[in-house]
Amino acid sequence: MPSQRDIRRRINASKNIRQITRAMQFVAASKLRRAQESTLAARPYSDLIDEILADLASVLGADEHPLLSRREEGKRLIILVTSDRGLAGPLNTNAVRFVSKEIIEHVGDLEMVTVGRKGRDAMRRARVPIIAHFAGFGDRPSVDDILPLARLISDEYEAGTYNDVDIVFTRFVSTLVQRADMVQLLPIRPSSDTHGVPGSQFIFEPAPEVVLNELLPRYLVTRLYQTALESTASFFSSQMVAMKSATENASELIDDLTLSYNKARQANITSELIEIASGAQAR
C-alpha cells in the first residue's frame, strides 16, 4: 500500500491538474460563445453565395471561367483543416480518420494541403504527399488569414493541376456535437434546388465573365472562411467538454485518494495503538 506521503503528493498533484483543467474549461467556454455567434451569423451569406453560384454554373459553360471547367484527367486535391493545439477530445482524431477513410475508399492520384499542425503531423506519418501547409487560423479567423489558401487553390485549379478540390473540416452542430464533413469546392456543381432562379431569368451586366471574375474568388474565400469559423467553434466546444470531463475525473480521483489516505491513516493509528497496548501488557 502506498505511504501517506505518496498519497498526499498524488492528491496535491490531482488538485493542481483540476485547477488547470477548470481554468481551461472556462476559457474555452468564453471563447466558444464568440466563435459560435460568428459561425451562425456567417452561415446565411455562405449558403446564399453557394446557391447563386450553383445556379450560375447550371446555365454557363466551362468556357465562361476556368473555375467552372470539369476535367476528366488530373489529380485530386484535399484540404484538411485541423487545429494546432490538442486537449480537444476526439476532434482532430475524427477529422484525420475521416480523411484517411476517404483516401482508402477512393484510391487515386491525390495531394493534400493541411491547415493546422495536428493534421499535418498525421498525414506525414501516413506518408500522404503534402504540397503546402498553413498554420491554424487562431481564435479569431479573419478573411486575411484565408486569402493565401484561396489564392493557392484557384491558381492551381486554373493551371489544370487538379480536377477536383475537396475540403475536410469539422462542422459545428451543437455544443456537444461536432461532425467531420467534406465539401467539394471545385468544380462548382449545378444547383439541384428547384427553388433556384431559372437560367433564362439571369441578366448579366456588363457580361457573364465579368460577373464571374468578381464572384468566384469571393466564393472561394467565403467557403474557406466559413470552414475556418466552423472548425474554430468546434475546437472550443470540444475542448470545453473535454476539460469539463477531465475536471470531473480529477475530482473523482481526489475523492478516491482521500479515502485511501484516511484508510492508511486509520491503519497507522490502529497499529500504533496496538503497539502501545502490547507494550503495556508486557510490563
What is the model's pLDDT at position 71?
74
Q: At what angle do helices 4-59 and 208-282 cross, to 10 degrees?
A: 170
Identify the bridge partners of residue 76 per DSSP, sorted by sequence position.
110, 164
**Are the C-beta atoms of residues 37 and 276 closer than 8 Å to each other?**
no
2-44 tens-digit pLDDT: 777 888 899 999 999 999 999 999 999 999 988 998 899 988 8
43-50 contacts, C-beta under 8 A, 24 or more apart: 43/226, 45/222, 46/222, 46/223, 46/225, 46/226, 49/215, 49/218, 49/219, 49/222, 50/219, 50/223
103-120 pLDDT, tens digit per residue, is: 988 878 889 999 999 999
Per the structure block, which three cell numbers stand in for 172? 459545428
**pLDDT at res. 186:** 85
Would the pTM of this model clear 0.85, i.e. be above it?
no
Using CA of residue 37, residue 38, residue 43, residue 48, what is the dihedral sign? positive
Asked if 153 and 75 count as a contact pair (C-beta separation under 8 A), the reply is: no
Q: Tell me: the pLDDT tens digits for 219-257?
A: 888 889 999 999 999 999 999 999 999 999 999 999 999
Copy the grid coordinates of residue 50: 453557394
pLDDT at site 260: 87
pLDDT in tens, 51-77: 777 777 666 666 667 777 777 777 899
CA torsion through residues 263, 266, 272, 274, sign? negative
What pLDDT is stored for residue 99 in this prediction? 93
Residue 168 or 263, more confident: 168
What is the rounded distance in angstroms from the CA atom of residue 91 to the CA atom of residue 102? 17
